[in-house]
A and B are shown apart, each in its own frame.
Chain A
Amino acid sequence: MRTDGNNLPPTGGRWDWTPVLLLPIAGAAGLLLTPSLSTWITLTSAGLAMGMLIFLVASGLTVVFGLMDVLNFGHGAFITVGAYAAFTAMAMTPGLVNSPALSDNLIALLVALAAAAASGAIVGLLFERLFVRKVYGDHLKQILVTMGGMIIIEQVVLMIWGPQERLVALPPALRGVVPLGEATIEKYRLLVIVVGLALFAGMALVLSRTRIGLLIRAGVEDHEMVRALGYRIRRLFVCVFVAGAALAGIGGVMWVLYRGTLSAGIGDELITLVFIVIVLGGLGSIVGCFVGALLVAVISNYTAFLVPSMALVSTLVVMVGVLLWRPSGLYPLK
């Protein structure tokens, strides 16, 4: 007779809540320093939305690094490709995109997200085969080759879609604000937060409740031992790499709709923040990546309002502070 071992008595575990507490602490500090509650709500919602975007893009990259020790500096290419594919999909569904009905707009957005995810995944698969596979175990080559791969992909994007910056308008029902007392929150930011939370919950469920999630968590800690247990870790890595590229594509389209313009260099804009977030979150940790992304974005937003010249510096200060406190990041896995 075989069992899954769940019949044995639970013995409990411990969850480290301390890094999560940084979020309400940052929020409370922001509330004390901003002049009004409505300003604080606007800043916080914008920060959370930005944090979700960073998380979407960073989540795949952090697992790829944790699982196979691969530094992919070309991750921004998937953002770009996803954004352009979504732009094309939206251009092909003008009736849904320009309709005043929310349902039509959401369908158009879903189509765009699917196009972004699919194109990100396909380019991710090719990228792994052509560039990453050749340079396992050599960080210097990984940096050079993946950066080169990103330049090639950006040039292909320029060839296909042209060099001009394009305006990307939100579908009508997603424009405007939702009043919250005296404050207002942009509808699209709320949507980004909901999408980000849904994807985080989905990832958390896959990682904690499925066998493939178990393998990914184990592989991030010690991929050599996972191989010694008889699992094909390279195949798992390719799956994770492709899924990460698809998520970056989704992040790309959400980011383009957030900022309203699209150009071939869009992938480069987020990538510095993405690397900061995966380092301070703890390499390979999805939860660390999520908390880190929200923390960086919210603090950056408060700082940009209070001391605009310090906005970029605040991100680095957060990273240095976290690493001084926890040198391996908020949720270290190794």
Chain B
Amino acid sequence: MTEAVLQLSGVHTHIGQYHILHGIDFVVPEGEITVLLGRNGAGKTTTLRTIMGLWRASRGEIIFAGQNLVARETDQIARAGIAYVPENMGIFGGLTVRENMVLAARAGLFDHRRLDWLLDLFPPLRTFWDLPAVYLSGGQKQMLSVARALIEEHKLYLVDEPTKGIAPAIVDNMIAAFEELKRARITVLLVEQNFEFASALGDNAVVMDNGRVVDSSPMSALAADATRQEALLGLAFEADRG
């Protein structure tokens, strides 16, 4: 059986007076892509932010590579080996594409082959290498956000809705990029509402609703069962599948 890189046990998160996560339990196996699915407001983004320490877990354990991340600072969690692509992409608009990438390469220098590989995956980044990122389109910013996470090797990648608001052609680019990553056996916890994208890439599916995990299964099983999809995912995916 594949070893779990990340394990969440009974994780609760409060934001102010609101109780958002109600005892989340799931594992992310090494070398696989695990997709967090669920309707808007189900708690997917909160889960990623809690893992990163951007919101504190009020209870429970988040075990990553044998260490409990709860109560650790975000920068410590990142240095432990987790890369994060936030929902808002987290691009520094005043910095050039190159400077955005330089910041992510914490040693200050890029691995030449890895950089070439990423720029081949996302050609607009090469074209606009010295342009302030504020001038990139939404899709190009998304490519930069993903490339920035991938420029260094990490044990786990947390990626929050990489297809949100981007054109279908760029979604195809993104699928191609993630397929290549999947072949390289990197470990990803992906939040995604586009079921076509999620089912094309995911090895495992974790479905959330109202701050709870309501289903956890191999993606192939969920993709093959339309009734279960309807029951678990509701109307949120109607448009995507239509």
**B-binding residues in A (CB < 8 A):** 1-6, 8-14, 211, 214-215, 217-218, 221-222, 224-233, 333
Residues of B within 8 A of A5 (CB): 98, 101-102, 110, 115, 129
Complex Cα distance, B92 from A217, in Å, reads 8
Complex Cα distance, B96 from A231, in Å, reads 19
Beyond A4-B109, A230-B78, A232-B75, is A11–B129 a contact (Cβ under 8 Å)? yes
Residues of A within 8 A of B103 (CB): 214-215, 218, 226, 229
Q: Is the CB of B92 within 8 A of A222?
A: yes
**Most A Cβ at <10 Å: residue of B94, B107, B108:** B94
Partner of B112, one of A3, A9, A215: A3
Q: Is the CB of A228 within 8 A of B78?
A: yes
A81 to chain B, nearest CB (A): 32
Residues of B within 8 A of A231 (CB): 75, 106
Q: Is the CB of B129 within 8 A of A3?
A: no
A282 to chain B, nearest CB (A): 11
Q: Is the CB of B94 within 8 A of A221?
A: yes
Q: Is B74 an interface residue (CB 8 A)?
A: yes
Q: Is the CB of B93 within 8 A of A221?
A: yes
Q: A11-B129, A228-B86 are in contact. List 17 more A-B contacts (CB 8 A).
A: A1-B111, A2-B107, A2-B109, A2-B110, A3-B109, A3-B110, A5-B102, A5-B129, A11-B128, A11-B130, A13-B130, A13-B131, A218-B103, A225-B92, A227-B74, A229-B106, A230-B75
Complex Cα distance, B50 from A32, in Å, reads 61
Q: Is B36 an interface residue (CB 8 A)?
A: no
Q: Is the CB of A211 within 8 A of B108?
A: yes
Complex Cα distance, B115 from A2, in Å, reads 9
Q: Is B95 an interface residue (CB 8 A)?
A: yes
Q: Is B127 an interface residue (CB 8 A)?
A: yes
**A-binding residues in B (CB < 8 A):** 52, 54, 73-75, 78-79, 84, 86, 90, 92-96, 98-99, 101-104, 106-113, 115, 119, 126-132, 135
B88 to chain A, nearest CB (A): 9
- Taking chain B's interface residues, is the majority helix, strand, or loop, or is none over half, making it mixed? mixed
Residues of B within 8 A of A13 (CB): 96, 130-132
Q: Which residue of B lies closest to A219 (CB)?
A: B92
Q: Is the CB of B95 within 8 A of A214?
A: yes
B210 to chain A, nearest CB (A): 26
Complex Cα distance, B112 from A2, in Å, reads 5
Complex Cα distance, B212 from A246, in Å, reads 51
Q: Is the CB of A229 within 8 A of B129?
A: no
Q: Is the CB of B112 within 8 A of A222?
A: no
Q: Is the CB of A228 within 8 A of B84?
A: yes
Q: Is the CB of A12 within 8 A of B131?
A: yes
Residues of A within 8 A of B129 (CB): 5, 8-11
Complex Cα distance, B75 from A146, in Å, reads 27
Partner of B74, one of A3, A211, A215, A228: A228
A154 to chain B, nearest CB (A): 35
Complex Cα distance, B96 from A6, in Å, reads 12
A-B contact pairs, 22 of them (CB 8 A): A1-B112, A2-B110, A2-B112, A3-B109, A8-B126, A11-B130, A13-B131, A14-B135, A214-B95, A218-B92, A221-B93, A221-B95, A222-B92, A224-B54, A225-B90, A227-B73, A228-B52, A228-B78, A228-B84, A228-B86, A229-B78, A229-B106
Beyond A13-B130, A218-B92, A218-B95, is A225–B86 a contact (Cβ under 8 Å)? yes
A77 to chain B, nearest CB (A): 30
B145 to chain A, nearest CB (A): 9
Q: Which residue of B lies closest to A1 (CB)?
A: B112
Beyond A11-B128, A13-B132, is A333–B94 a contact (Cβ under 8 Å)? yes
**Most B Cβ at <10 Å: residue of A13, A218, A230:** A230
B146 to chain A, nearest CB (A): 14
Residues of B within 8 A of A10 (CB): 129-130
Q: Which residue of A lies closest to B127 (CB)?
A: A11
Residues of B within 8 A of A217 (CB): 92, 94-95
Q: Is the CB of B94 within 8 A of A227?
A: no
A64 to chain B, nearest CB (A): 18
Complex Cα distance, B130 from A5, in Å, reads 10
